Amino acid sequence: MHILEIPSFFPPYGGLFCLDQAKALKSLGHEVRILSNVQLGATIGLRDYVVQPYLRYEHELDGITVCQSYQRGLPKCIRYNVRRWVRIVQRMFADYVRKYGQPDILHAHCCKWAGYAAMLISRQYHIPYIITEHLSKQLFRDEFGDDLSSVWQIPLLKEAYRQASMVLPVSEELVDSLACYFGTDYRWQPLSNVIDVDFFHYQKRIPKEGRPFRFCCLANFWPLKGYDVLMPAFRQLRDSGVDAELHIAGRGTDSSECLSMLSDGMVSHGLLDKEAVRSLLYQSDALVLASRSEVQPLVLLEAMSTGIPVVATECIPQSLRIEQGCTIVPVDDVQALSEAMRTVSMYECFDGRAVSEKVRQMASPEVIGQKLVALFNDILASR
């Protein structure tokens, strides 16, 4: 099967979910490439805006061919930037077909705007498309606001949802969460993102006797991640007599604002690469996340895959609440979070290997790749 992945976002602005699924599909013997147009913002990262290539090119990323383009966005010209982004993707697709032939199916990541571009390409070339949706309601609210009567983007995105052969929200809860924007009049089924379970493999921790219990939190330092709840909860935990450490890592955790909030037992590591993230997980006994809003925080699955329990808030989807591996507390409840951390720190018979295996059965590249292939085959057969 010939599959073309079209991400809405790609490095330097994230979007590696697309690469993970492309690798999973390729490992099953399919022809898979990525077509990526990244809109660069001068206010987001001036260096990237200046130094990234101005011409389209191809490169290999973890064994996947990426047809790459960088678009310089114009500040405050949202409608113009969107139209230009979509036109560039359409032209890149025409070039792609001339070089590689027409794919059997298009797989867009996020409806805004890869899903919309895939819909227009599908109309012209009569190729089915699906959309994997990763974006949270909070991100749409930040852009669209609360008065939706004059938001020009919504009718375009709703049509892309309706015309898709299938929409794959990364959690079932995301459908109802986004219904205020896109309704529910489209075909959908939930499908998890991929976890590199071989990289984040199970590893037995060193005995806890004679040392502090080590919690970690892997999350960027911004309000939705709830550091203003986590830190007082950890202080309460220490004040109750629990010998514990809290190691935090993520973008902004080494900022002056974040560092000023640290107290005894707290350590900041700043932004870590994948290897360092795994190293921190292997040095930790549990992960804690005090988020106020999440779609599918894969760090929870990565932590459980390495064999440690997690403490998280009610905003995470049911699919991540693995039995014995995940403890849930209310959002913005310092006392409840502190008590849950205390309970987890006293676990004596936690079966990390069993929890790790549950993650593998749910989100490994092989499992997700096979589910995608089965879906693609059903779509192509129905046409």
- 300-317 per-position pLDDT tens digit: 999 999 999 999 999 999
pLDDT in tens, 218-237: 999 999 999 999 999 999 99
* Pick from 82, 74, 83, 70: nearest CA to 36: 70
pLDDT band at 44, cuts 50/70/90?
A: confident
Q: pLDDT, tens digit, for every residue of 275-297?
A: 999 999 999 999 999 999 999 99
Q: What is the pLDDT of residue 158?
A: 96
Residues 108, 130: contact at Cβ < 8 Å? Answer: yes
Q: Starting at the edge strand that comes first in sequence, how are the strands of the sheet with 310-313 ordered? A: 266-268, 244-249, 213-218, 286-288, 310-313, 326-329
Distance CA 95, CA 100 (A): 9
Element (H, E) at 65: strand 64-72
Q: What is the mean pLDDT of residues 118-143?
A: 94
**pLDDT range class, residue 162, cuts 50, 70, 90:** very high
Residue 126 clears pLDDT 90, i.e. is over it: yes
pLDDT at 16: 87
- The rounded distance, in Å, linking the Cα atoms of 231 and 378 is 49
> What pTM does this model have?
0.90
